[in-house]
Amino acid sequence: MSTQENSQKLISTEVQVDERTHDGSADTVVSAADLSVYYGDDQALSDVSVDIPEKRVTAIIGPSGCGKSTFLRSINRMNDRISMCRVEGRLQFNGKNVYDDDVDPVALRRRIGQVFQSPNPFPKSIYDNVAYGLRVQGKADDVDLDKEVERALKQAALWDEVKDKLDSFGLDLSGGQQQRLCIARAIAPDPEVVLMDEPTSALDPVAASKIEDLIEDLAETYTVIIVTHNMQQAARISDKTAVFLTGGELVEFDDTATIFEDPDDQRVEDYITGKFG
């Protein structure tokens, strides 16, 4: 019964997506074209092509080692931090190939936020954690920092819990609060895209469900791309789903409802229904 409700909801979302597409508001923000990534001789992604729409939640699912996180890191060029890593093909952010010679990864990352698998707040106060991005990006002087910190914490649904202790240590918060702090930190500089790499996998179910609710809200303002192991999570919160399978191949990309109810590819169906992976 609940499955049916769920699919009902997903289908209605799909209709909505279509409408917005006709409005022309769901533009492509991130698009990959024949993107391949290698670590030394190992190929982690092979010829991935995908158009990720603006202000939607796009989930990336697939078994371990299928290149989900590699794909995420290639969007904001965090792969640059891994020596031996080599990228072929194109990855466009608002139409610009981020692997062009004239792209500074620092400038790119200032427009794409990221939330990591386990909460990684800096060993600083809550306030300084949220303000960090604005400060390193030189925006701290142009904006009302207090206001921006408050805005980010509110967007991350953390404000009410921490407003009286902004000076206390970020690491003193609970795991779920730390992760929401990291989300606040990522969105404080007002990026266009927020990348999330299994943001709830280190959290208990209650904390995880708070983050899931939050992610749906974030998609009103930001384009969210989330890697997840958890298929129920992908089904619950995403508008679009990309399924990667072993070998770094993007097997199918479609509306989430379609992926979970009527996938084209037999391997996707097998994976979704738990036959392997």
Partner 1 sequence: MSTETQGPDLSGDELQGDRATDRNIKRLLFGCASITVLTTIALFLVLFDNAAGYFYGARIWEVLIGQESFRQTVSFSEFFTGTRWAPVRAPPAHGVLPIVWGTIVITVGAAFISLPIGTATALYLSEYAKPQNRNRLKPILEVLAGIPTIVYGFFAISFVTPIFVSAVGALFGISVGRYSMMGGWIVVGTMTIPMVSSISEDAMKAVPDDLRNGAYALGATKYEVSLRIVLPAALSGILASYILAISRAIGETMAVSLAAGYQPQLTANPFEEIMTMTAYMVSLARGTSAVGSVEYQSLFAVGLVLFVMTLTANLFNDYLKRRFQEVYR
Residues within the interface to partner 1 (CB under 8 A) = 76, 78, 81, 83, 106-114, 116, 118, 120-124, 132-133, 136-137, 169, 171, 182, 185-186, 189, 195
Closest of 237, 248, 143, 246 to residue 199, by C-alpha: 237
Q: Considering beta carbons, is residue 182 or 259 the nearer one to partner 1?
A: 182
Q: Considering beta carbons, is residue 15 or 136 the nearer one to partner 1?
A: 136
Compute how many other C-beta atoms are within 10 angstroms of the C-beta atom of residue 208. Answer: 18
Q: Which residue shows structure tokens 């010679």?
A: 101
What residues contact residue 70 under an 8 Å CB cut-off, 6+ apart? 37, 44, 45, 79, 248
Residue 268 contacts residue 85 (beta carbons within 8 Å): no
Distance of closest approach, residue 220 Cβ to partner 1, in angstroms: 22
Closest of 162, 182, 171, 175 to residue 205, by C-alpha: 175
State the Cα–Cα distance between residues 246 and 134, nearest whole angstrom: 38
Distance of closest approach, residue 250 Cβ to partner 1, in angstroms: 23
Distance of closest approach, residue 110 Cβ to partner 1, in angstroms: 3
Distance of closest approach, residue 242 Cβ to partner 1, in angstroms: 21
Q: Considering beta carbons, is residue 46 or 178 the nearer one to partner 1?
A: 178
Q: Considering beta carbons, is residue 20 or 124 the nearer one to partner 1?
A: 124
Q: Considering beta carbons, is residue 185 or 236 the nearer one to partner 1?
A: 185
Distance of closest approach, residue 133 Cβ to partner 1, in angstroms: 4
